[in-house]
Structure 1
């Protein structure tokens, strides 16, 4: 990962918070667990999650910025889908939604949106693994996808719950069994796959050599370096670890870098590059879950309260430096690069509440500014 382009000392870093109603107009619906991209013309597209099948766009070039509806998504309403912008089109991958029988299930379908025609189309291709909790980014005209839960275990849990016939005792037994297993028993996805929109074919970039994760944050640069930060390693248990990868042809070489966030780690954080610096913010965790797990209590988050982080970190010389704080703790929104900074759009806050507002983070010399 490219080094931070300016000198920064741990005890001399300052941050500013600018109070506005919102750095962007309020989203038409409170927005969390959805997805979004920015195109080459600086037009943002967001949708799905708490927005249902709705999608909206905003032209960041305009002085009078506003969210405008686009064509509704034609597929199943879903959460935790990811999207990328390649060659003028938006591609949406996976997520989880309801089957025709009403069961919650992992999805493998792929949709393309053509902005010029304002049209969606389902591609005749399916991902080789179920895609929930996965992360996506682009490289050399392809979508690279990694991480995510195990489809059979995820689907099986909801099938078992549906078969309880509202028997509270049986339901509690299923819940305890599902959450009470060690990390390795969840078989989170470690395969790194690529999708070529020209051929609609899938390829492999090998296997992630460390624990599979869900809800990790991917930070990419313009070269072939990437960071994968935190994420959950089993339901309710996060990891504070971070890894750097270098793409070399049809493989990615990985090595660990310094851990970040609290000892419990977070999932659903925000990340990007600001003035050449890797920045990581927000995310959600269950404080105390790591300690419980080490002590053999595999239902590690049982009885714990989810906490939403407001901390912002900068990566420098293999160290994560605490740069400041967001105005609120937040997770599970959309990260968008803009104006040499990072937009945080929507997200989930305390109590699971969906946020209709946005924030803008920017690093300049020794200061982190947060506009919202």
Structure 2
């Protein structure tokens, strides 16, 4: 009987060890800096003639005025650790808060906003397709609703989802789907949380994780911008990509943040990683709507899909904010440019990989 109990105990112990979630950490480094400092830029990656490249489009240059809204574009040769400038997005005047996604080898650049000399801002509906092999652009179908500071996510290497964001005068809860095969748009199930801009998110398989952002609310007759803490999971229906089942999930540790960098990671564990951002929302120059300077948060968080829990993954070596997303190439993840302490726009490119702690 004692032997049987011992065997059962060992079986339970082995099973529990096998089921224990893998503990992960991030390994940080830097690569060749950008040709110029740039922030709030749209970033992505693609393969050209068998070689991996990173890409940056548009954004804000040093000076941080309307004159510094940029249409600068460049690509980074990962193998040779070199940057080179490429033709600019053909929008004539540049824009901020755009987003870029790679689908089937082509890079799509969505929306954003322009800034005039008088400070007026206009959300843009144009979408450009960039061919990284031909090094050329083509304007494709306009989005249904112009948005900026939205989260963009790719599903099945075909569909691009634009989730919530700002439209000229207010936030919207719209979820717009662009079908790259038919060059057409549809509306999906609206975003279930408060409509926000400057939120962040990633996708793994058919599961989106989005967090935080900024709400525009009216308080005593005056519109103010305030952080909107909250994290939401969206699961795309396998039969109909326009159907999304939204559910609230536990909020991440720490304060809500604005303009974090985020990315979905499939291996060695499925999770969505969130880096940087700030708890003091601002327009584009790094000075908050409350007229106080904004500073980046250094903490790195991840929502693990295997355990449905948030984990803390240490600190970003050089804290940054003012991001659109994280560019992925293989098992490497790149934060390209951004804004550092003192509202300094940077040319720094920070890279991380995901490590299994017990294999270190």
TM-score, L = length of structure 2? 0.77
In 2, Cα distance between equivalents of 1:15 and 1:133? 27
Q: Which residue pairs with 1:7 in the alignment?
A: 21
RMSD: 2.8
Q: Secondary structure at the match of 1:48?
A: strand
More helix by share: 1
Given candidates 58, 75, 81, the residue that maps to 2:98 is 81
Q: CA deviation at 1:117?
A: 1.9
Q: CA deviation at 1:88?
A: 2.7
2:333/2:351 contact within 8 Å kept = yes
In 1, Cα distance between equivalents of 2:359 and 2:77? 25
In 2, Cα distance between equivalents of 1:127 and 1:311? 34
Query: For residues 209 and 114 of structure 1, do their structure 2 counterparts lie closer, same or farther at Cα, with a shift above 3 Å needed?
Result: same
More strand by share: 2
1:34/1:46 contact within 8 Å kept = yes
In 1, Cα distance between equivalents of 2:77 and 2:340? 26
Q: Which residue pairs with 2:252 in the alignment?
A: 260
Q: CA deviation at 1:210?
A: 1.7
Find the structure with the greater CA-based Rg.
2
Given candidates 24, 32, 36, the residue that maps to 2:39 is 32
Out of 239-248 and 339-348, give the one that drifted further. Answer: 339-348
Q: Secondary structure at the match of 1:351?
A: helix
Q: Which residue pairs with 1:308 in the alignment?
A: 296
In 2, Cα distance between equivalents of 1:8 and 1:196? 36
Q: How many residues are aligned here?
A: 308
In 1, Cα distance between equivalents of 2:213 and 2:176? 18
1:176-325 aligned at under 5 Å gives the runs: 186=170, 188-221=171-204, 223-234=205-216, 236-248=225-237, 249=240, 250-263=242-255, 265-272=256-263, 273=265, 275-276=268-269, 277-286=271-280, 302=290, 304-316=292-304, 317-325=307-315
1:106-117 aligned at under 5 Å gives the runs: 106-117=123-134
Q: Does 1:350 align with 2:341?
A: yes
In 1, Cα distance between equivalents of 2:253 and 2:321? 13
Q: CA deviation at 1:368?
A: 12
Query: For residues 323 and 197 of structure 1, do their structure 2 counterparts lie closer, same or farther at Cα, with a shift above 3 Å needed?
Result: closer
Query: For residues 365 and 116 of structure 1, do their structure 2 counterparts lie closer, same or farther at Cα, with a shift above 3 Å needed?
Result: closer
Q: CA deviation at 1:338?
A: 3.1
Query: For residues 202 and 99 of structure 1, do their structure 2 counterparts lie closer, same or farther at Cα, with a shift above 3 Å needed?
Result: farther
Gaps of 5+ in 1: 154-185, 290-299
Gaps of 5+ in 2: 1-18, 62-69, 217-223, 283-287
TM-score, L = length of structure 1? 0.75
